């Protein structure tokens, strides 16, 4: 996949900056509350494909008052988003091709779980629909005290399909996920913290620094060990205790070899 330059990203409403081991993706359309389009998701996928090898932390943040107001509502109009069509204009395609379009959008989200990086969403203001799902796509969430989450899709007649349903259920449990999604209610920062939708809540003005501090702490461990440990933790839920113990053994043998071959 080809790299994507700053001018092209700016047109889509994104910024991408790399500072040593930390990459920052900024949703940068604050006047439209960082509404997302198919172009946003394709660009996110390309950023993931071309992530510089030294990057260990990916911060996802939003410019302005809101993290993201979700999908660009022009998609619901007959005119759609210029150059990208609308929901209605895509109905002539067969089911497989429509599913493929969603799969392409999902690629913008899925890579944020790669074991060799840790992704952190810095969430202020509204994170609605696709905005909530983008925050859920990240490993960790740091919340400003004005953060507000809403899974709006069911209220609009759709399902959340940008990879958010699994992390939501994993974090808050099935009953709460059903309640939140099927009422499409807004969950504010204090409750979000109680529901484990965020790792910490900080005053709005301290969000950037709190993310920087967390990134620095995450960078303090060995990269190989961090990658192997994240991989182990990610697999834990799908394995029995015995299977997980075996996975620990396998990872540790590789760690020991890497460590002592070095020294």
Binding site for ligand CAA (CB under 6 A): 32-33, 35, 65-66, 69-73, 126, 128-130, 152-153, 156, 158
Q: CB of residue 195 vs ligand CAA: minimum separation in angstroms?
A: 20
Report how far apart, in Å, the C-alpha atoms of 132 and of each of 12, 127, 144, 216 are: 19, 5, 14, 25
By the 8 A CB rule, do 23 and 16 touch? yes
Beta strands in the chain (DSSP E): 14-19, 22-27, 57-62, 118-123, 126-128, 140-144, 148-150, 186-188, 200-202
Three-class secondary structure of residue 185 per DSSP: coil
Number of helices (H) and strands (E) in the chain: give both, helices first.
Answer: 10, 9
Q: Phi and psi (nearest 5°) for 207?
A: -60, -50
* Shortest-Cβ-distance residue relative to ligand CAA: 129
Compare residues 124 and 227 and give the one whose CB is closer to ligand CAA.
124
Compare residues 27 and 128 and give the one whose CB is closer to ligand CAA.
128
Of 44, 47, 68, whose CA–CA distance to 3 is shortest?
Answer: 47
Q: CB of residue 110 vs ligand CAA: minimum separation in angstroms?
A: 16
Compare residues 16 and 149 and give the one whose CB is closer to ligand CAA.
149
Cα angle, residue 73 at apex, residues 72 and 78 outer, rounded to 5°: 115
Q: CB of residue 30 vs ligand CAA: minimum separation in angstroms?
A: 9
Sign of CA dihedral 172, 176, 182, 185: negative
Q: CB of residue 219 vs ligand CAA: minimum separation in angstroms?
A: 32
Compare residues 130 and 218 and give the one whose CB is closer to ligand CAA.
130
By the 8 A CB rule, do 186 and 146 touch? no
Compare residues 47 and 135 and give the one whose CB is closer to ligand CAA.
135
Q: CB of residue 152 vs ligand CAA: minimum separation in angstroms?
A: 4
Q: CB of residue 182 vs ligand CAA: minimum separation in angstroms?
A: 14
Compare residues 162 and 218 and give the one whose CB is closer to ligand CAA.
162
């Amino acid at each position: 996949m080809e790299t994507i330059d700053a001018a092209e990203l700016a047109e889509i409403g994104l910024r991408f900056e790399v500072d040593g081991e930390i990459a920052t993706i900024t949703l940068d359309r604050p006047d439209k509350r960082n509404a997302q389009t198919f172009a946003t998701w394709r660009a996110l996928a390309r950023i993931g494909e071309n992530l510089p090898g030294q990057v260990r932390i990916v911060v996802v943040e939003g410019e302005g008052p809101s993290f993201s107001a979700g999908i660009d509502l022009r998609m619901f109009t007959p005119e759609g988003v210029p150059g990208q069509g609308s929901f209605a204009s895509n109905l002539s395609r067969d089911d497989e091709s429509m599913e493929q379009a969603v799969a392409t959008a999902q690629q913008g989200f899925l890579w944020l779980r790669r074991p060799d990086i840790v992704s952190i969403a810095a969430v202020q203001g509204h994170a609605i629909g696709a905005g909530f799902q983008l925050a859920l796509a990240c490993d960790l969430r740091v919340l400003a005290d004005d953060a507000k989450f809403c899974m709006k899709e069911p209220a609009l007649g759709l399902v959340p399909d940008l990879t958010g349903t699994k992390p939501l259920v994993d974090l808050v449990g099935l009953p709460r996920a059903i309640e939140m999604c099927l009422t499409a209610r807004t969950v504010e920062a204090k409750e979000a913290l109680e529901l484990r939708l965020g790792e910490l809540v900080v005053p709005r003005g301290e969000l950037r620094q709190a993310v920087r501090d967390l990134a620095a702490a995450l960078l303090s461990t060995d990269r190989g060990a961090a990658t192997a440990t994240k991989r182990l933790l990610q697999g834990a839920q799908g394995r029995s205790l015995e299977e997980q113990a075996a996975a620990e053994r396998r990872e540790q043998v590789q760690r020991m070899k890497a460590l002592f071959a070095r020294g």
